Amino acid sequence: MSKIIPNISVDCVIFGFDSNQLNVLLVERKLLDEQTSETLIDDWTLAGYHIFEEEDFDTAAARILKRLSGLDHIYLEQFYAFGGVNRLNKPKDQLWLKHQHEGFSDRIVTVGYYSLIDNTSVTLSLKERNVKWFPVSELPELGFDHEEILQKALEKLRTKLRNEPIGFELLPEKFTISQLQRLYESILGQSLDRRNFRKKVMQMKYLIPLNEKQKDVKHKPAQLFLFSKDVYERTKKERFDFTM
């Protein structure tokens, strides 16, 4: 049986987009008193765990995502390390770690990853714990220092979005310009001028218009597009800042 490294862990900020808003996948952390059934802890955390002795960080993060989604080759990027002296000192966190009995260290360094998933087409689950998508703008109480980790991941995602087309990882294969704009607005946390956005989008050589329109919608069907990674690789010197 693999042994964990007691003072090193990986936490994954799993972002998803549902065509309207940016979401994050959280894991319920609930602890009841064994004698009285009183609720001692009832909050949420990011998906994460300690790394095993034979693993590197990337392998551990991929394992955590595989366990949740059953999928391989999901977009995954390391973005920061968290090693504050007091990051585990809150009473709830101490109680939780004591209850786990898994040989964790009193001080743990966590390497943060963020992942991008189209959460309209993926069903995530965890057999022993409840998992749920939450809008990034409406978060519940988070355990440990996971709010700090989440905000840092969002900051890194916003920076990357301005320089690379990673947002397409959050969209279905075929999408509309309106969906793309809502994606950018939900990540950046600001409204974008519709005309200016469309003008810049149409300059993207790697955004391929299709001879297809939406189906089964109540409004006038919009044209569908797809993202060509091959074309992007040939033209990636171009950059578009949609916030201008």
Tokens of 184: 């950018």
Most confident of 180-189, 198-207, 231-240: 180-189
pLDDT at 104 over 60: yes
Cα 121 to the center of its chain, rounded Å: 15
Question: Rounded to whole angstroms, how far apart are CA atoms 244 and 149?
Answer: 28
Banded pLDDT at 105 (limits 50, 70, 90): confident
pLDDT band (50, 70, 90) for residue 218:
confident
Q: Return the closest-CA partner of residue 157 out of 147, 142, 144, 170.
A: 170
Window from 66-70, 123-127, 158-162, 233-237 with minimum mean pLDDT: 123-127
Q: At residue 240, does pLDDT exceed 80?
A: no
* Residue of 81, 226, 228, 86 lying closest to 156 (CA atoms): 81
Cross-strand partners of 113: 12, 78
Taking every pair of Cα atoms in the chain, the longest distance, rounded to a whole number of angstroms, is 65
pTM over 0.85: yes
Q: Is the dihedral of CA 185, 186, 187, 188 positive or negative?
A: positive
Portions of the chain given CATH number 3.90.79.10:
4-161
Which of 3.10.20.90, 1.10.10.10, 1.10.287.3510, 3.40.50.620 would CATH assign to domain 166-235? 1.10.10.10
DSSP 167: G
Averaged pLDDT score across all residues of the chain:
89
Q: Are strands 207-213 and 223-227 parallel, antiparallel or unpaired?
A: antiparallel
In CATH, 4-161 is 3.90.79.10:
yes
In this prediction, residues 172-193 reach a mean pLDDT of 93
Helices (H), 45-202: 57-69, 91-100, 146-161, 177-188, 194-201
Model pLDDT for residues 74-96, shown as the tens digit of each residue: 899 999 999 999 998 999 999 99
Q: Is the pLDDT of residue 125 over 80?
A: no
Q: Where do you find CATH 1.10.10.10 in the chain?
A: 166-235
Specify the pLDDT at position 185. 94
CA end-to-end distance (rounded Å), the chain: 54
- The answer to whether residue 236 scores a pLDDT higher than 50 is yes
- Provide the pLDDT for residue 207: 92
